[in-house]
Structure 1
Amino acid sequence: MFNLSYLSDPEVFQINRVPAHADFVSEACKSISLDGTWHFLSFFRPEEADTTFLDPAKLDTMGTIEVPGHLQLQGHGLLQYTNTMYSWDGKENIVPPQIPTHQNLTGCYARTIQISRSQLEKEIRIRFEGSESNVILYVNGIFVGYSEDSFTPSEFCITNQLKEGDNLISVMVTRFCSGSWLEDQDFWRLSGIFRSVHLLILEKTHIEDVFLKPILNQDFSLGALLAKVQVAEATADQTVSLFVGDKLLAECKAGDSLSCTLENPLLWSAENPFLYHATIVLKDEKTILDKTTIPFGFRDIHIEGTTILLNGKRLLIHGVNRHEFHCKKGRAISKEDIYADLVEMKRNNINAVRTSHYPNQSCFYDFCDVLGLYVVDETNLETHGTWMVFGRVVPDEHTIPNCKEEWKEAVLDRASSMAMRDKNHPSIIFWSCGNESYGGSVLDSESDYFRSLNDNRLIHYEGIFHDRRYPRTSDVESRMYAKIPEIQEYSKHATKPFILCEYSHSMGNSTGNLEEYVALEQSHPVYHGGFIWDFVDQAFQLDDKNPDNLSGGFGFDMPTDGYFCTNGLLTGDRKTTAKMKEVKYAYSPFPMAGEGNKLTITNRNLFIDASSFLIAWTLLKEGVAVSSGSFKTDLGAGETKTFTLFDPLPDTTETYSVTGEIRLDVATKWAEKGFVIAKHSFLANTVGEVSLPQEIEPFIKGSCNIGYRCEKGVFLYSLFLGQWEAMLTNQGNLLSRPVKLETWRAPTNNDKGNGNTLLWAPYKLASLYQRCTKYHLAENVLSTVIATPSFEAECRYTCHGNTTTLTVLAPSFPTSLPCFGISFAIDKRYHNVKWFGNTVIDTYQDRLCGNLLGIAQEDASSFYTNHNDPQECGNLTDLRYLELTDDQGHGMRIRGEKPFEGSVLPYSCHELENATKKSELPTNDCFYVRILDGQTGVGGDDSWGAPVHDKYLYKGPEGPWRISFEIL
């Protein structure tokens, strides 16, 4: 039997496990999937587990569970999310390497397999691709082995324990072991066998391992391929042959290394991911014993001074962090899920991915090789909670691994398990020592191990920023969430290249000012870009009847860090967001700029010209296309050219704009021909402020109301309330709620994190509580003074034709404020929204998504963004007009003297703020409309204190703000 004391011993992390090796398919190995339904029992503690799962006669007394899958998603234990604190924090007072004794959910799995007499003559192994937090394996009731490290394979030889006929495979998995102290990642704390399980039937003599090392000479004119092939049960009469394609290039005795050369090899990069294929053939004098084919690529990465060079060019990382996560399956994701994620990255101009914070499934790296993505492959190591509390660095005697020898071998085993499996993938350009595990000699030894592989990769570790004792641990200066001034300051005395392994924290309505970080790449060569945090919300979709209810960390096991797991560019159910659209624009390989009739394009690619792309343009007059064209160019990598699109425009007061697009002119593995990879819009002429109606007509003065009758209806103002309360037409009152001044928005996660909610509290009160203290009607102008707890503003109304114009004279505000404008509600039948402005929904002044100027139309239901924590969303920018109509075309048009902002949502800003999840939002019979002079940007440097950049703070209107409403 397994000794349960090993669970809390950091020096026991594997027993009888097969040494790690590359993951490849060979002819001498037959793989049989053991995925599917297993017998299962769970216990609160491993000490309570009985021997039922070891007895084939008792299997019918057990329940069942699906493999791969998590216990917590199949009715065993509770879901729990924490960031830096350990799952047991506050429940048990333990220190490394102790493990919880009160509750340590234990799963006992069992299933029978059939083994034939002929199979028993071969070598038989069982391989667990991933099991959290360990594997305790029995075959026919006999203990076979043990393994920790949730995210790399655990492979065991079980030949000696098998017999002909039925055999019982039994597995115990505990939620916690000493290795859990090394797995304190910012993710859902789940357990169980969550990756596939395979039975491997191998010939006694087979290819055990292959290590390919493609090496380039200095000018890349010659490529050398070194191949180290390990053969099981090799004999003197066996040879190994190396083919590249169908050409035999090298041959040697089994056990020796092979090498060959290729002249002028094609190079692998994310832009042109060219792969060669090496075929290894093992044979004796008469027979082929085994054969395997492994893709490989020639590429070079090294550092010169403070510059990272990839194939001789300065590397620019436009990356993203990605957890393995699915809203229904947790980390038990499929190959199809993985491939879809990587295609989505390519389609949004992401060129790099960090496997935060553990090795991914093997197929992930295959797909990155083929599609073209640079990979930071990260060791399954994070000990955040042993040295940081509430963001404060407080290392003590319990900080691990630090310089503690008892943890060294476990850490090195995790590094080698990852590297040996993944070593042949050209997409991997960095080995990462782990994440947020402080510093010390153990991590330095891990870095030395990676260097000993001599495989043309760089070493990454962010933690040296917190602990400078061993600076060699990382080849680069890697930081998280450094502000732009900090990067600029570092560049003055840089000793290493600088990357942001995490930046632009995309929690909730965020990812502002991303373009400024990307622009920094050009002005500060030491800065090589970074990886956005992160790709997809870790939000579960557990209610099939209400699929829009995506859960953050609230409502499950405690302690929890709540919604801090929802930081994605995509929602948990993989819907795109305006944040991702901003990324696509900011990361574009073809940034564009325009003026008049000219379009300037820069090719930001390192290796490819623009010949496989089509440039298309459209000239729009008042948002309507009037002419268009397209052309090809061979614009070289790194070059900039300006193209004349059409004849100069005549002088006019009408708004002309141009939209340029870069489209694929050939299909790729990740997108079809014609797919748009970049867009840009610019004004083609200079137009001043729009002239709103100047003539004014008299009001009708009553005792309690003042009105204005026009051809299409009546505008009515309540003198008692001091509010504009009606736009009366034959269809009824267009206004479901009166017009009021608006100075509030539902706080974003960033607003809460950086303290804006406290600074802006007076404007919350101003939005809620308003009173008319004075009104005056003279010369056909209705003036009202609106008092709030925070300020006074004068509102002036004039009317002309079917239009009323509101002019607001606001005071100078002492601080920035969330927004300033008006809000009202309109009946839900006016659900058709048409606008002339930025056609992208959910834009803000620091997240303009390229500001694609034109006319767009959407149903009002399209504007709400389903953040897990309801907050400000749905904003439109650069509006010239906004129309709200019913299906017969009746409604209103809103125009501004200058471009304005606005939104149409099914909830008010206060309803959004009051809800902690979508299910708490009310069902309304109206849409809430906000028409704004402007609002503060969303920010995005981080979500726990970074202010919105000063230039994106809204500080109130400059002079009178004028807006008009027309009945349609």
Structure 2
Amino acid sequence: MKYHEDTQTLHVGTLSPHAYFVPFRAEQRVSDERADSELFELLNGEWDFDYYESVFDLPENFTDRSEDPPKGSIAVPSNWQLKGYDKPQYTNVRYPIPFDPPYVPDENPVGLYRRKYAYHADGLKRHLVFEGVDSCLYLYVNGNFVGYSQVSHCISEFDVTAFLKEGENEIACAVLKYCDGTYLEDQDKWRMSGIFRDVYMLSRAEGGVEDYTVTTKISADEKTAVVSVKVKTEQGCSAVIYAPNGDKIAEGDTDGAGIFSADVKDPQLWNAENPVLYRLEIFCAGEVISENVGIREISIEDGVVKINHTPIKFRGVNRHDSYPDTGFYAPVEKMKKDLELMKSLNVNAVRTSHYPNAPEFYQLCDKMGFYVVDEADIETHGCADVYNTFEWKDYNGIALIAGDKRFEKAIADRHERLVKRDINRPSVVIWSLGNESGYGDNFRKSAKFVRSLDSTRPVHYESRQKLDDGNDRDLDFVSVMYWDTDYVKFYPESEKEAYGRPLMLCEYCHAMGNGPGDLEDYWQEIYANANVCGGFVWEWCDHGIYTGKTDDGREKYFYGGDFGEVVHDGNFCMDGLVYPDRTLHTGAMEMKNVYRPIRASKNDGGFTFENKLAFTHISSENGWECRYVVRRDTKIICEGKISIDIKPMCAQTADIALPEMADGHITVDFDYYKNGENVGFDQIELCNVKREHIPNKNGCTLTENSREYIVSSDNMTVSVSKRSGMISQIEKNGVKLLEKPARLNMFRAPTDNDITAKNDWFKVYLDKAKIKLYSLSAEENCRENKTVKITAELSLGYAVYEPMARVKLTYEFFGGEFSLSAEVDIHEKLKFLPRFGVRFFTAKQLDGIEYAGYGENESYIDKHRSCKFGRYVSDVHSQHEDYIRPQENGSHFGTEYVKIFSSSAQLEVLSDMDFSFNFSPYTQEALTNAKHNWELEEGESNVLCVDYKMSGVGSNSCGPELKEKYRLSEKHFAFTFFIR
């Protein structure tokens, strides 16, 4: 057991890498289900298992069951850390072991897997296939060493025929947690080990197909195509091609070079919108191999990415093989659910971050229609920290291994295994050399090597940081992560090394927690720039590990550090569009509507509808429908349908009968449906006449005591504290509506995207701001009908620094309602505030809510594309978005009024200007201090925050800073709320 620290010995006893396939017997009826093949024997299930803390702890005769009987068992596939052995570790960038290549720690845990296998000689060879093992394996059959292999996310295949005996056999597999390949597998993910993908035995005929490659070529006019298959075998083969409708359209034998080609007239071309597939069957040595074939081409012309000669935009996401209960094991039904959800969210592309996904994932993508950026199992991100061990120099150190000759062979090997396994998948349109490993000669050579293996697809790689003077002209894309929208807007001028290449945002809009808040901004620029081929949101899912339920039934998900890891990156693995159980974040709903296939806009003659799809004719005949609703002040005044007929990437104008628009807030909603399923919407504001609220002036009286001013009228009593100048109680018909006094509020529970801004907020103690009251006065009969005015001058501060804000508060009481007006001056050195407004700590019985604003999802100034302006009725618990790491949530942007109520009381806030609010059973202090949602405890009151403004959420957890236009950075502002 010496190979795991030898960078020049990567595989021993393995078969050469080849295209993924499972043969059937020639006389069998083939199907898409490999389990139907009589030549396929799945070895998943319970295996005997022993865990050792170190490779040195393995017994000397560990393959001998009589000397070392198994002590336990484990499910295969699985990660042993999820089965009670060792603990999961989450780290993003940093290596979990000392950087000492090619060596790994002596305390290198080993999982010893063993099982019986019954063999009866039938003239067929036996190939034992491991689809994924982390990090490497030593294989033994009947005590004999068969071979060694590494590369966690690629297939290792062994011909074990010579090691088998008639009857019962013993298979033993020693899996090591670390090997020299660990230095190339530093991806942002949980670090877990074991046999985590399917294991099976293939029965193979002597002289059968060893490998094959399918290519398609389309004529310029797309009236003909050529489908070719080149087969590697020791004998001749025959092939048959079937059309999508099942008709046989070609058959014949391979020529002397092992090639069979067929002309296809009027081909039906494969694309993600219409993933039509032909079927190829290859007959050889008593076997038949069935392959789905998509006729398609990808090209780059003048910096524009095209599929089948048509410009394309990738509306993508990044995806790991990751599930809260099965870890790295991705059963087909779970992968299919992921892809079905993506389809429902208008996603058309997936980047397999940052390794090849399970083989069947690509077959699903072929059938369901996704463009795949297929990525090699390479990331050396930890080199950045290694290079800057004691003092930061620069980020180029990420390329330490990119030019290290010791790893040249391993990098090429991983690229070869990527390409050869997936070369026949039509869904794979781009090869990606890996992720965040810097650039150097190892990758330059390997880029050329990939082209030699497959010249039909372009080559992508993001990490262009270098420690040498070479260039990256071998790559077909300029690929960036998290650059701002100005870079996208002005590309290629914004990139000095563009060289006519298209731009890909391989990661953008970091979806961590409450976010992302800048999706629409990016797509305004992506659609406007032909040289930008699209982007892939980071990322698909939160990588929480399910650990059971609390006593009160709440599900518990762990993130980095929860297992006691010393080196970890906290909740940075909770950065997805969906929760671990695949419940949608509001960010996923935001993405769905930004990715919508139709976009509407107002023009002088009516409305323009743009078809953003590249190959789909959107029409009523094809199952598409456009419904509209016109509302005045949230009330429906007319509705109907528009007959749509829009060719791909074209537009249509239409008009609808609209009401007179002299007053009110008038909107029109266009909802788009495909076969009855809503695929997105547009809401266009047609009129929004400035509101002017005129309060009722029913008269009121003023009294006072040593602590409060008290204003009474219409069975309502409002108390204002002489200590703080704030409302201390509102009482209606004897019911007290507040549990404690209201407060001015500048803070929010930091979102994950407040990662940098929150440091400034905590530095000045924004979360602890206290009032200093300078003056307070009351004036009675200041208007007709005995109105009362109370004026307070105060500041907000805590310690060390000057006050953060100076405020003049004015209350004016009219009878059954009152106004709260504020004139605010913010300290000039405060960069921006998360919010400014008033917090009301309301009685628990007030748990219902009605509002007119953007809902019903949470909405922010930069994150409301999944929301419509309207009237909504809900309750306080439904307003809470349950992020696994608690944070600011549930706000509503563009609000005209909000009313909270119970069966016996209500409190309403409205304004002449739009405002934001949120209503929560949790205080912002509780949300700030809790590390997990299952640790949250409700307060003694519900909390209604009414804000002049709330800053946007952005995507700064791993992206650009929040745009200035979305910040509350004003230094002087004023607002008025009416309360009744």
Fold conserved between structures, TM > 0.5: yes
Aligned counterpart, 1:240: 238
Q: CA deviation at 1:185?
A: 0.6
Aligned counterpart, 2:825: 811
- Matched ranges for 1:749-764 at <5 A: 749-752=752-755, 754-758=756-760, 761-762=763-764, 764=766
Question: CA deviation digits over 1:181-222, x for unaligned, max 9?
Answer: 110111111111111111222233433333111111223222
Contact 2:606 2:654 in 1 (8 A): yes
Aligned counterpart, 2:29: none
Q: CA deviation at 1:582?
A: 1.5
Say if 2:565 is the partner of 1:551. no
Partners of 1:153 and 1:24 in 2: CA distance? 12
Aligned counterpart, 2:978: 964
Identify the match of residue 843 of structure 2 among 827, 838, 851: 827
Identify the match of residue 114 of structure 1 among 107, 115, 118: 118
Q: CA deviation at 1:244?
A: 2.7
Task: Select between 795-804 and 844-853 the one with higher mean Cα deviation.
Answer: 795-804
Say if 2:659 is the partner of 1:618. no
Q: CA deviation at 1:268?
A: 1.2
Identify the match of residue 55 of structure 1 among 64, 72, 92: 64
- Matched ranges for 1:873-912 at <5 A: 873-886=889-902, 888=903, 890-912=905-927
Say if 2:534 is the partner of 1:529. yes
Partners of 1:305 and 1:388 in 2: CA distance? 38
Question: Measured at CA, do residues 335 and 51 of structure 1 come closer, stay the same or move farther in structure 2, by a change above 3 Å?
Answer: farther
Question: CA deviation digits over 1:693-719, x for unaligned, max 9?
Answer: 163633331224333334453223233
Q: CA deviation at 1:934?
A: 0.6
Aligned counterpart, 1:412: 412
Identify the match of residue 327 of structure 1 among 324, 327, 332: 324
Contact 1:541 1:547 in 2 (8 A): no
Question: CA deviation digits over 1:395-442, x for unaligned, max 9?
Answer: 6699214151x3222222211212111111111111111111112222
Q: Which amino acid aligns with 1:853?
A: F
- What is the DSSP-based 3-state SS (H/G/I as helix, E as strand, rest coil) of the residue aligned with 1:338? helix
Aligned counterpart, 2:964: 950
Partners of 1:687 and 1:540 in 2: CA distance? 51
Aligned counterpart, 1:96: 101
Contact 1:596 1:684 in 2 (8 A): no
Contact 1:499 1:527 in 2 (8 A): yes
Question: CA deviation digits over 1:520-579, x for unaligned, max 9?
Answer: 123332222211111111111213335443222022222111122121111222221121
Q: TM-score, normalised by structure 1?
A: 0.92
Q: Which amino acid aligns with 2:54?
A: R
Say if 2:646 is the partner of 1:635. yes
Question: Measured at CA, do residues 489 and 660 of structure 1 come closer, stay the same or move farther in structure 2, by a change above 3 Å?
Answer: closer
Question: Measured at CA, do residues 255 and 165 of structure 1 come closer, stay the same or move farther in structure 2, by a change above 3 Å?
Answer: farther
Say if 2:345 is the partner of 1:348. yes
Question: Percent identity over the alignment?
Answer: 27
Q: CA deviation at 1:948?
A: 0.9
Aligned counterpart, 1:33: 42
Aligned counterpart, 2:76: 67
Contact 1:35 1:67 in 2 (8 A): yes
Aligned counterpart, 1:142: 144
Say if 2:221 is the partner of 1:219. yes
- Matched ranges for 1:341-380 at <5 A: 341-380=338-377
**Which sections of structure 1, spanning at least 5 residues, go unmatched?**
284-288, 665-672
Contact 1:59 1:110 in 2 (8 A): no
Contact 2:297 2:308 in 1 (8 A): yes
Question: CA deviation digits over 1:748-770, x for unaligned, max 9?
Answer: 22222x24431574471564445
Partners of 1:913 and 1:866 in 2: CA distance? 13
Question: Measured at CA, do residues 798 and 426 of structure 1 come closer, stay the same or move farther in structure 2, by a change above 3 Å?
Answer: same
Question: Measured at CA, do residues 52 and 328 of structure 1 come closer, stay the same or move farther in structure 2, by a change above 3 Å?
Answer: farther
Aligned counterpart, 2:697: 695
Q: Which amino acid aligns with 1:291?
A: V
Contact 1:355 1:376 in 2 (8 A): yes
Identify the match of residue 17 of structure 2 among 3, 17, 20: 20
Identify the match of residue 812 of structure 2 among 794, 798, 805: 798
Question: Measured at CA, do residues 596 and 727 of structure 1 come closer, stay the same or move farther in structure 2, by a change above 3 Å?
Answer: farther
Contact 1:46 1:174 in 2 (8 A): yes
Question: CA deviation digits over 1:725-746, x for unaligned, max 9?
Answer: 2222347311122211111111
Identify the match of residue 78 of structure 1 among 87, 109, 112: 87
Question: CA deviation digits over 1:654-694, x for unaligned, max 9?
Answer: 32221111100xxxxxxxx3111111212222311232416
Question: CA deviation digits over 1:340-399, x for unaligned, max 9?
Answer: 111111111111110000000111111111111111000001112224557864566992
Q: Which amino acid aligns with 2:759?
A: T
Aligned counterpart, 2:198: 196
Aligned counterpart, 1:782: 790
Partners of 1:398 and 1:47 in 2: CA distance? 33
Partners of 1:876 and 1:763 in 2: CA distance? 25
Identify the match of residue 602 of structure 1 among 586, 605, 610: 610
Partners of 1:465 and 1:482 in 2: CA distance? 15
Aligned counterpart, 2:785: none
Contact 1:491 1:524 in 2 (8 A): no
Partners of 1:652 and 1:275 in 2: CA distance? 55
- What is the DSSP-based 3-state SS (H/G/I as helix, E as strand, rest coil) of the residue aligned with 2:146? strand
Say if 2:579 is the partner of 1:571. yes
Contact 1:72 1:190 in 2 (8 A): yes
- What is the DSSP-based 3-state SS (H/G/I as helix, E as strand, rest coil) of the residue aligned with 2:750? coil
Question: Measured at CA, do residues 75 and 608 of structure 1 come closer, stay the same or move farther in structure 2, by a change above 3 Å?
Answer: same
Question: Measured at CA, do residues 444 and 907 of structure 1 come closer, stay the same or move farther in structure 2, by a change above 3 Å?
Answer: same
Partners of 2:342 and 2:774 in 1: CA distance? 53
- Matched ranges for 1:648-659 at <5 A: 648-659=658-669
Partners of 1:348 and 1:845 in 2: CA distance? 22
- Matched ranges for 1:722-761 at <5 A: 722-730=725-733, 732-752=735-755, 754-758=756-760, 761=763
Task: Select between 566-575 and 695-704 the one with higher mean Cα deviation.
Answer: 695-704
Contact 1:40 1:53 in 2 (8 A): no
Q: Which amino acid aligns with 1:294?
A: E
Q: CA deviation at 1:508?
A: 2.0
- What is the DSSP-based 3-state SS (H/G/I as helix, E as strand, rest coil) of the residue aligned with 1:42? strand
Partners of 1:736 and 1:588 in 2: CA distance? 45
Question: CA deviation digits over 1:803-837, x for unaligned, max 9?
Answer: 22211222255242111110011223222222111
Q: CA deviation at 1:772?
A: 6.5
- What is the DSSP-based 3-state SS (H/G/I as helix, E as strand, rest coil) of the residue aligned with 1:506? coil
Say if 2:481 is the partner of 1:480. yes
- What is the DSSP-based 3-state SS (H/G/I as helix, E as strand, rest coil) of the residue aligned with 1:810? strand
Q: CA deviation at 1:80?
A: 0.7
Say if 2:850 is the partner of 1:852. no
Partners of 1:905 and 1:392 in 2: CA distance? 45
Q: CA deviation at 1:898?
A: 1.3
- What is the DSSP-based 3-state SS (H/G/I as helix, E as strand, rest coil) of the residue aligned with 1:416? helix
Partners of 1:569 and 1:965 in 2: CA distance? 37
Q: Which amino acid aligns with 1:826?
A: T
Question: Measured at CA, do residues 242 and 161 of structure 1 come closer, stay the same or move farther in structure 2, by a change above 3 Å?
Answer: same
Contact 1:497 1:526 in 2 (8 A): yes
- What is the DSSP-based 3-state SS (H/G/I as helix, E as strand, rest coil) of the residue aligned with 2:960? coil
- Matched ranges for 1:132-281 at <5 A: 132-231=134-233, 234=235, 238-245=236-243, 246-252=248-254, 256-281=258-283
Contact 2:399 2:440 in 1 (8 A): no
Identify the match of residue 109 of structure 2 among 100, 105, 110: 105
Question: Measured at CA, do residues 113 and 488 of structure 1 come closer, stay the same or move farther in structure 2, by a change above 3 Å?
Answer: same
Question: Measured at CA, do residues 631 and 487 of structure 1 come closer, stay the same or move farther in structure 2, by a change above 3 Å?
Answer: closer
Question: CA deviation digits over 1:92-132, x for unaligned, max 9?
Answer: 4x42111112x2111001111222243xx311121111000
Partners of 1:583 and 1:929 in 2: CA distance? 28
Contact 1:376 1:428 in 2 (8 A): yes
Q: CA deviation at 1:650?
A: 2.1
Question: Measured at CA, do residues 837 and 396 of structure 1 come closer, stay the same or move farther in structure 2, by a change above 3 Å?
Answer: closer
Partners of 1:145 and 1:877 in 2: CA distance? 61
Contact 2:136 2:150 in 1 (8 A): yes
Task: Select between 856-865 and 419-428 the one with higher mean Cα deviation.
Answer: 856-865
Contact 1:443 1:473 in 2 (8 A): no
